[in-house]
Amino acid sequence: MRVALIGNMNNNFFSLMRYLRDAGVDAELLLFADEINHFLPENDTWDIEKWKPYIKQTNIHGGALGQYFKMSAADIRKEFEGYDYYIGCGFAPAYFYKAGMKLDLFTPYCVGIEYTYRITKTKPLHYLKEKIEAHYQIKGLKYSTKVVGTIDEESREKAKRLGVKTKSLPLLMIYNKEQASCKDDFLTTTIDTFKQHYPVVFSHVSHFPTGSRTWQIKRNDILIKGFAEFAKQATTNPLLVLFDYGEAVETSKALIKELGIDDKVMWLPVMSRKKIMLLLEHVQFGGGEFGGAVWGGTGWEFMAKGVPFFQYVDMADAVFEANTGMQMPPFFNTNNSEHISILLAEYSGNKDKLSEQGRTLKNWFNKEAGQELAEKYISILES
């Protein structure tokens, strides 16, 4: 079985490619010409030379209309041909429509399916661009896509309205079968700092302006307030690790100052996933998103490393399982600062209990989201 994975948002398909190859599938990653640097494969592995033979650079720009209109159907087919099956994300359906090819599986990375809706309302040229993108993306979904795999209800309903078959299929976001071997002075110093504190609470969620739609999903303030309440009565030396990432970092810093915990907070620069995954081996707790949605990449990363983490998913276990095809993972499901404070005190005070929680999470990941999830992708292709 020869499989092409087209696009690499969040390094999702680089992770999937590695699991597929571990399962004996001849999978290759086809990168768009304009992939975000932060999500290139070399930023998600310490052993890029091992995987380079299976990574191909295309001349196709995902979502760039000028490039889309310049390329002929034959040009696109030349970039993609030679595989038994195709899995794509981003603007892949539109390109397959123009090429007259079939995309076996499309896995959207945006709520509501990327490039199918208009975001800009005030800039006429941007509005027109998004309208044209949506036109061709929808054509690609209707006429060139066999299956849309997603656990997002909005994406699923949109696909159904377009007459596309859907499957409950989570994004496979993290490859956790690689041992880190890093000689990075900054990381070494950071880890040494972590070792001087207990517990270390780690959150690499971005910071957005209060009241914005994204802020309502992230709600970093809930974790910060919960940590502050815990830190005031802790008999150890706790540390909250946050990232200088997002439009409203200063808002979070102001809250931290107001709460009087400046000396218990460490700010890190934006860094690649491979570096984050190494740091996660040296923390006790993770902080995810508290707006009620199914977690994003940060939650997967915590689970892949077996780090107990706080997150809020506003969904009953049975509903979660029906929507995602997975059992609800055993994270700390809360959006209450006081509850976070209580859990921090309870679990940091019982290291055996904390370790067991971490093992349970990692076992869940290995069963539901690692190699076993890759097998579900294979089954969908073969069905």
Q: Is the pLDDT of residue 369 over 80?
A: yes
CB contact at 8 A, 273 and 243:
no
Local confidence band at 266 (pLDDT 50, 70, 90 cut-offs): very high
CATH topology of domain 2-172: Rossmann fold (3.40.50)
pLDDT in tens, 68-112: 999 999 999 999 999 999 999 999 999 999 999 999 999 999 888
End-to-end CA separation in angstroms for the chain: 13
d(CA 306, CA 313): 19
Find the mean pLDDT for residues 121-149: 90
Topology (CATH level 3) of domain 185-366: Rossmann fold (3.40.50)
pLDDT for position 160: 95
pLDDT score for 119: 66
What pLDDT score was predicted for residue 290?
Answer: 87
Asked if residue 24 has pLDDT above 80, the reply is yes
**Burial profile 344-370: b = 16 or more Cβ within 10 angstroms, e = fewer:** bbebbeeeeebeebbebbbebbbebbb
Whether 253 has a pLDDT exceeding 90, the answer reads: yes
Per-residue pLDDT at 209: 63
> What is the pLDDT averaged over residues 215-226?
84
Phi, psi of 245 (to 5 degrees): -145, 120
* Cα–Cα distance measured from residue 118 to residue 165, given in angstroms and rounded to the nearest whole number: 24
pLDDT in tens, 1-18: 999 999 999 999 999 999
CA distance linking residue 168 with residue 105, whole number of Å: 12
Instruction: Quick: pLDDT tens for 337-362.
Output: 999 999 999 999 999 999 999 999 99
Hey, how many other C-beta atoms are within 10 angstroms of the C-beta on 70? 10
Give me the pLDDT at residue 235, please: 95
State the chain's mean pLDDT as an integer: 93
| pLDDT at 67 > cutoff 70 | yes
Average pLDDT over residues 144-166: 94
Please give the pLDDT value at position 111.
82
Of residues 29 and 216, the one with the higher pLDDT is 29
| Tens digits of residue pLDDT in 164-219 | 999 999 999 999 998 877 778 999 999 999 999 999 999 999 887 666 665 566 78
**Whole-number pLDDT of residue 291:** 82
pLDDT band for 329, please (50, 70, 90 cuts): very high
Stretch among 115-124, 200-209, 301-310 having the lowest mean pLDDT: 115-124
**pLDDT value of residue 20:** 98
Question: Between these two residues, 36 and 280, which has the higher pLDDT value?
Answer: 280
Q: Is the pLDDT of residue 229 over 70?
A: yes
Between 290 and 279, whose confidence is greater? 279
Residues of the chain with CATH 3.40.50.2000: 185-366
pLDDT of the residue at 213 = 60
